[in-house]
Chains A and B, each alone.
Chain A
Amino acid sequence: MTTATGTLPRSASLIQDFLDVDRIRDDFPILHHPVRGGRALVYLDNAATTQKPRQVIDRIVRYYSEENSNVHRGVHYLSEVATDAYEKARTTVKRFIGASDEKEIVFTRGTTEGINLVAQSWGRKNVGAGDEILITAIEHHSNIVPWQLLCEEKGARLRVAPVNDSGELVLEEFARLLTPRTKLVAFGHASNALGTINPIRKMIGLAHAAGAVVLIDGAQGVPHLHIDVRDLDCDFYAFSGHKVYGPTGTGVLYGKEAILDAMPPWQGGGDMILSVSFEKTTYNALPYKFEAGTPNIEGVVGLAAALDYVSAIGIDAIATHEQDLLHYATKRLLAVEGVRIIGTAAEKASVISFVLEGVHPHDIGTILDQEGIAIRTGHHCAQPLMMRFNVPATARASFAMYNTREEADALIVGLQKVMELFR
């Protein structure tokens, strides 16, 4: 099945596919780099982080080879070039998610930092004793803990909307939990642990009708779904660059201009000020107010290259391909004796969490790894959700645009080896 060259044989089944997967795979050097003593890499851990195309890697190399300088500071040539590249990246992001203005695009280290920014800046100003923050049962720890910290500090209450046995939000309960005390509602666009895609349009509408501000954790949304923040009408949308083929340490917090404008700064330092004296400091305009210190310029420039790459291929074509893989792999997995899929929502991103009877996910992960197959095992930073489904951990295969049906087949063959060993 696996070959040492790093490419898997392709069947005719993908010919009608929307994507030229072979060409896409050629863009990702790491997919051709053998692992574990010469095995082809079957990378199915894309919900953790995606691999990077040459276009992104080259862009970063070019930045350091030709453009490196600090931004917003110098009068010299390179500073101008670097500032220009950095700000053009902001425009790329703005277009990619359908924001109105560059002022609404704040660069962060990732989803986690974006959510913490909102909790610490907007939250501290607007949430008080007796107020409520509503999240859902499928949230990643990074969309739970920042709100817990805020609630603890302010004497506010964290409410959690439940999911049903398929891992879908119980919308009536969500609606019922919205009260005049609800100040903010935060939820994932899609779940990293189960794949569930939330009905975010309905949820945003309900939350707004209750007078709450809405933050969407888009870490698993942006890589798979078309995003238009204006059309969605969400107040905040946070995502990570590294999950959408960009560099680690990059992320975006989108916020509506009026809301961001009324928020106090989060961190203090260079770049976020207009003038500083020991008596009084005047803060810079949006979005710089929220970007203290020298930013991750290389990363932001690489992120723009990643979004350009995704745009050139087309998010809809990517989604179609990933959905094909999701359905194909789901069908094949269900045919393996003892497999139970955790998370069977009607609308799912290309994430499959599963358990195998009598075998702990950690052992599955080690055995598949020996075959060159990378999956994630554990609680996926969603321990409350694992408790909800009464499993200590799951094995998770998550698919990206460069994955193939043959790789899903390799996963099944690997699982059969697991069964052989543990039978």
Chain B
Amino acid sequence: MTEQLRELYQQVILDHNRNPRNFHELEHATKKVDGYNPLCGDHYTIYVEIDGNTIKDIGFTGNGCAISKASASVMSATLKGSTIAEARQLFDVFHKLVTGEPGSLSTAELGRLAAFSGVSEFPARVKCASLPWHTLNSAIEGDKETVSTE
């Protein structure tokens, strides 16, 4: 096993892949968006319940690789209860993290998100990690019902 692979498949990712959090539909969803990666067939539906400026609840269903599933799971656990402004900020932080751009947050501040720091070494997998975030972003911004990585 190479060091890079260990960095990619960190325990947090393997754990969230095996036991995804919030892996269900939301009964009271105010918005539901499909995210699709035509290249590898990853497909998720993200449900959000937005109350004013707060993401009250997030759920997701679908199918894809460990990176995308763990990303959706960690995202849902991280953003549940946060404000839209916070979500936008973390979207930006996450994007920088997986594309290897220098970010403003330390590993400690990143918390669970830090588990995705290995992704930037795998250009082919960046889209896997960012698909759920793009999908959620679209749910928040409310412009589309389907998001595609291509």
Contact = CB atoms under 8 A, between A and B. Distances in A.
Contact of B4 (A363, A370, A377, A392): A370
A366 B41 contact: no
A43 B64 CA distance: 25
Majority-rule SS of B interface residues:
mixed
A421 B41 contact: no
Contacts of B124: 366
A135 B9 CA distance: 42
A392 B43 contact: yes
Contacts of B65: 360-363
A367 interface: yes
B42 A367 contact: no
A367 B14 contact: no
The residue in B39, B65, B128 that gathers the most chain A C-beta atoms within 10 A of its C-beta is: B65
B53 to A, nearest CB: 35
Contacts of A359: 66
A379 B63 CA distance: 14
B5 interface: yes
The residue in A362, A392, A393, A422 that gathers the most chain B C-beta atoms within 10 A of its C-beta is: A362
Interface in B53-111: 63-67, 69
Classify chain B: how many residues form its interface, as a range: 20 to 34
Contact of B66 (A360, A377, A386): A360
A360 B64 contact: yes
B41 A367 contact: no
A311 B1 CA distance: 41
A361 B8 CA distance: 16
A166 B39 CA distance: 25
A296 to B, nearest CB: 27
Contacts of A362: 40, 42, 64-65, 67, 125, 128
Contact of A366 (B1, B14, B43, B125): B125
A378 interface: yes
Interface residues of A, number: 19
Given A370-B5, A421-B5, A422-B14, A363 B66 contact: yes
Contacts of A393: 40-41
Contacts of B1: 370, 417, 420-421
B63 A366 contact: no
B8 to A, nearest CB: 7
Contacts of A421: 1, 5, 9, 14
A386 B14 contact: no
A14 B5 CA distance: 33
A140 to B, nearest CB: 15
B40 A366 contact: no
Interface in A355-381: 359-363, 366-367, 370, 377-379
Contacts of B14: 421-422
A378 B69 CA distance: 16
A360 B66 CA distance: 7
Interface in A379-413: 379, 383, 386, 392-393
